[in-house]
């Protein structure tokens, strides 16, 4: 389908139609769906694949800790722009990690279990016991481990996926309002040429 289809249904003078507004909202909820609705099938599939893949890759790299990274709320805000992947991941993250270190959560319970069962280290002879205990716990519960670089990159991937979805939403907006993008040739035109 061409650009004409959604411009005809939403002429510039009358503003976007109900389908146009729906397309903008759905473009946020499901990356790429806005373009599919306005008839840009290939573009929609490209955006859907790229944004979902980037968000998924961020989760694969950083795990659930890539979501809502502590002390970096800017990434949380941008991650929410990715729509449903973040809504689900954010819910899982909140249910596992809790809002504060004091709040009962599965992660905080694990931390408490780790701390309470850890062999004491009053002298050097028990250091090996503590190391073995830590290795066992980390292998059983990898969520307890901390990998700052990779988890940060995971957060960035998910955040950039959200920002790219914002770009895609603006593109849907331009298309449903029938707004022409300014090209490089347009920018080179003088005011006199534009007036003609």
Partner 1 sequence: MMPISTLAYTIFFDAITSLFPNMDEYWLLLVIPLVVAITLVYKGTRMKELRTLPRDATIMSVQILVLMVFAAAALGGLYWIAVRVL
Given the rule CB under 8 A, which residues bind partner 1?
42-43, 46-47, 50-51, 53-54, 56-57, 59-66, 92, 135, 138-143, 145, 147, 149-151, 153-154, 156-157, 160-161, 164, 167-168, 170-171, 181
Question: Measured from the CB atom, is 16 or 162 closer to partner 1?
Answer: 162
- Residue holding tokens 């955006």? 47
Question: Measured from the CB atom, is 22 or 150 closer to partner 1?
Answer: 150
- Contact of 104 with 98, CB cutoff 8 Å: yes
Shortest distance, CB of residue 69 to partner 1, whole angstroms?
12
Is residue 156 classed exposed, middle or buried when 0-12, 13-18 and 19+ CB atoms within 10 A define those classes? buried
Shortest distance, CB of residue 124 to partner 1, whole angstroms?
25
Question: Measured from the CB atom, is 185 or 195 closer to partner 1?
Answer: 185
Question: Measured from the CB atom, is 37 or 51 closer to partner 1?
Answer: 51
Kindly give, in sequence order, each residue whose CB lies less than 8 Å from that of residue 11, ignoring residues fewer than 6 positions away. Answer: 178
Alpha helices in the chain (DSSP H): 4-9, 18-29, 33-37, 41-62, 73-80, 84-97, 106-117, 127-140, 148-177, 184-188, 191-195
Shortest distance, CB of residue 192 to partner 1, whole angstroms?
27
């Amino acid at each position: 389908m061409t650009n004409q289809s959604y411009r005809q249904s939403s002429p510039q003078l009358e503003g976007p139609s109900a389908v146009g507004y729906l397309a903008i909202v759905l473009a946020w909820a499901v990356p790429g769906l806005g373009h599919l609705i306005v008839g840009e099938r290939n573009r929609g599939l490209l955006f859907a694949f790229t944004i979902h893949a980037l968000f998924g890759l961020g989760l694969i790299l950083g795990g659930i800790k890539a979501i809502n990274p502590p002390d970096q709320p800017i990434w949380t805000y941008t991650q929410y722009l990715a729509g449903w992947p973040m809504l689900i991941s954010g819910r899982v993250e909140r249910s596992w990690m809790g809002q504060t270190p004091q709040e009962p959560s599965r992660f905080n319970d694990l931390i408490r279990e780790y701390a309470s069962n850890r062999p004491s280290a009053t002298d050097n002879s028990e250091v090996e016991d503590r190391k073995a205990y830590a290795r066992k716990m980390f292998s059983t519960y990898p969520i307890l481990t901390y990998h700052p670089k990779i988890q940060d990159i995971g957060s960035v991937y998910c955040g950039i996926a959200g920002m790219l979805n914002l770009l895609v939403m603006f593109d849907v907006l331009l298309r449903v309002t029938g707004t022409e993008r300014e090209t490089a040739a347009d920018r080179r035109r003088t005011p006199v040429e534009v007036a003609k």
